[in-house]
Amino acid sequence: MQYSGITGSDGISGPLVDCGEGYPVQFPDSQTGYIALISRSPAEVGFLFSAKVSNAQAAGAIGVIIYNNRIDDFDQNGGTLGAPGSWLPTVSVTLATGTALLSSVNQPITLINRILDTPGAYGTKQGTSMAAPFVAGIAGLLLAIQPSLTPAQIASFIMDGVDELPGLENRMVSEGRVNARNALCLVDPLAGDIDCAEILPPVTISNTPMSSPTVEAGESYAATLEVTGGSGEYEWKVTHDPSGTFSGAWLDQDTFSFVAPNTGSYAGVYAITVRDKNYPMVPDTFHIKVPFTVSPKAFVFTETTLNGGENPLQFEIFGAGSTYTWDILASLGTDEPVSLESDLVNGLNPIR
């Protein structure tokens, strides 16, 4: 059975229990350590071998024998559990063998399975005709999880993921042997059967660059980013939520420097986004965001002296919002002041 667990040369032993077609109610209630004998189901039922084996494992079986319910190519080719996993040792047998085993129910048996090694099925060959299918297969795997990869990026991931071998040093460009798992991990550190942590550890920031989660409008802030993991080369930029737009290009220097804006829709949540420079398309494991908030500056009004003539009176206003109004009050030879009103914005405002 494809993807089955392996028993080892000594096999596994236990009583044989007839478990019907492998439905949960067909397993013994309180028995464990047995080998489940299960019949294949009719094709129209769609009861997968993987479901039968999962039910057996949940019910305390240590191994599974699935026998055919008809005569077809299952007798020669066996079945499949669908995907790699922590499956019980499982074998498939013919209808005749399964029927014979029914006479041994409740008797102790030993189950042994192994990977088939048919004489002549494997051989050793060499040359580019043998290497090309392996490289093409890895390229196909990379495109399956990241269809937007360019040919140059595919070649880079395959080359960067090789197992370096001393005997190949200075003899070929890669100086190593292709490794499909390494290449896959460089594109996407998959969760599940493939463990990528030892190949390319996640990018982490060991210090939090912002000493305070809030930066006041108009303030500048600088810090040294202490980043580890990934390929060891990083770049960063600042994002502004909820718009999600980036401020400026990706930068690769170690020092983070940011001046909080004070005009327009500047207030809100920002984030320093750090990513692996060599693998920019890799997802969140290699993208770290450190959020902080830009708040309005406390209300500030700075005035200058009006010198008369055409020289304007200029003043700056920050805080509490982005637009303001102003009044000019003057006697103008009367007892009542005159009010002149206009809209102002954050920043420098001339009055003439």
DSSP 264: S
Query: Residue 244: what pLDDT?
Result: 47
In this prediction, residue 49 has a pLDDT band, given cuts at 50, 70 and 90, of very high
Report the C-alpha gap between 59 and 56 in whole angstroms. Answer: 5
Q: Which of 6, 72, 70, 14 is nearest to 39 (CA)?
A: 70
CATH T-level assignment (fold) for domain 12-111: Glucose Oxidase; domain 1 (3.50.30)
Check: pTM over 0.85? Answer yes or no: no
Output the pLDDT for position 15.
95
Q: Classify 163 in phi/psi space as left (phi over 0), alpha (psi -120 to 50) or beta.
A: beta
| β-pair type (34-39, 61-67) | parallel
Summarised one tens digit per residue, pLDDT across range 123-143 is: 677 788 888 999 999 999 999
CATH classification of 204-295 is 2.60.40.10, yes or no? yes
Domain ranges across the chain = 12-111, 128-187, 204-295, 300-351
pLDDT at 145: 83
- Judged on CB neighbours under 10 Å (0-12, 13-18, 19+), 64 is buried
Whole-number pLDDT of residue 13: 94
Q: What is the pLDDT of residues 194-248, one digit of tens each?
A: 666 666 666 776 666 665 567 666 667 666 677 777 667 777 777 665 454 545 5
pLDDT above 70 covers what percent of the chain?
57
Residue 143 is encoded by which pair of tokens? 């495109």
Mean pLDDT to the nearest integer, 12-17: 94
> Which phi and psi (to 5°) does residue 278 adopt?
-85, -20
Least confident window among 47-51, 130-134, 185-189, 317-321: 317-321
pLDDT at 345: 45
Q: Any alpha helices (H) in the chain, and if so which ranges?
A: 49-58, 74-77, 95-101, 128-145, 151-160, 180-187
Sheet of strand 214-216: strand arrangement: 214-216, 287-295, 268-276, 234-240, 245-251
Q: What is the DSSP string of 214-229?
A: EEETT-EEEEE--EES
